[in-house]
Amino acid sequence: MGNIDFIIILTTAFLGSVGHCIGMCGGIVVAYSSTKIDQESTYLQQTSAHLAYNFGRVTTYTILGGIFGFVGQVVAFTPTTKGLLFVSTGILMILAGLSLIGNIKFLNSAEWSISKYTWYQNSFKKLMANQSYLSFYLLGVLNGIIPCGLVYSFAIFAASTADPFAGALVMATFGLATIPALFFLGFLTKFLQKGSLRGTMMKLAALLVILYGGITLHKGYNFIAHPQMMKERMDKMHEENMDETLTGQFNGMKCAPGKCG
């Protein structure tokens, strides 16, 4: 994964958080803000509560990313199968992007409401009745498992990394990029909930998902059409990364001036 990957992830996640997360998760933020947070408490206490909730979401996303990355790793055991994984991922991301715009109902057919289950409702009620920082964190963990089209898009991307660590990193980056919009929801509710702004942000995020889906699709084609070339390229990149790691370790072991015996 290169810098361009993280730029796209951060940009798409931030735009999507304004266009999608505000509408889908905003109700939960407003609910716990008015129920669990004492408005007479200090700004630091309120900030800590909001951060605990958001880091709970990021924790869930990170775990999901690791799981999807592991699944991708199991599937992509040769250049050809890796290419097939990229192709299928690219197609799914394009479909997800079109669905986020509203052109098709791809994600709608895949989503289901976990919040309807009794165990979820009971857990939610218990956490809402508690005011400890742990309860805010666990509420975020609980919210993170609610099926969401934007989460699906990045989970698919995490699978395409074919690596548990990289997949977890993708989803962690996604989660962190969604924090600002939800964190400042209480201060900017009227501004962020304007339909025109949210619609524009959502369309921009969806277009980036489609764009990256196309890039992933092209990458998959190269793996299938030129497996040997892609294998050699990957081996070269691995060797360069190893060389950089070893060089860094060697430089770290060097004696500081005047310190060598």
Please answer whether residues 32 and 130 qualify as being in contact, where contact means their C-beta atoms are separated by less than 8 angstroms. Answer: no
The predicted pLDDT at position 103 comes to: 62
**Residue 243 confidence (pLDDT):** 47
pLDDT of residue 106: 58
Q: Each residue of 195-212: pLDDT tens digit? A: 555 667 667 777 877 887
Q: 193: phi > 0 → left, psi -120 to 50 → alpha, else beta; which?
A: alpha
Contact indicator for 111, 149 with CB cutoff of 8 Å: yes
pLDDT of residue 108: 56
The residue with greater pLDDT, 184 or 136, is: 136
According to DSSP H, which parts of the chain are helical? 3-16, 22-35, 43-75, 79-101, 106-110, 118-128, 133-144, 149-160, 164-177, 179-183, 185-192, 195-225, 227-253
- What are the tens digits of pLDDT across the range 238-252? 555 544 444 554 455
Sequence-distant (≥ 6) Cβ neighbours of residue 1 within 8 angstroms: 161, 166, 169, 170
Rounded distance between C-alpha atoms, residue 179 and residue 185, angstroms: 10
Identify the band that residue 193 occupies on the pLDDT scale cut at 50, 70 and 90: very low
pLDDT above 90: residue 67: yes
Residue 189 pLDDT greater than 50, yes or no: no
**Ranked by mean pLDDT, which of 48-57, 147-156, 199-208, 215-224 comes out on top?**
48-57
Using alpha carbons, list the distances in angstroms from residue 12 to 7, 26, 163, 203.
8, 18, 21, 10
pLDDT averaged over every residue in the chain: 75
Q: Tens digits of per-residue pLDDT, 81-136?
A: 878 888 888 887 788 778 777 766 655 555 566 767 788 889 988 998 888 889 99
Separation between Cα atoms, residue 187 and residue 247, nearest integer Å: 48
CA 169, CA 82: separation in Å to the nearest integer?
A: 19
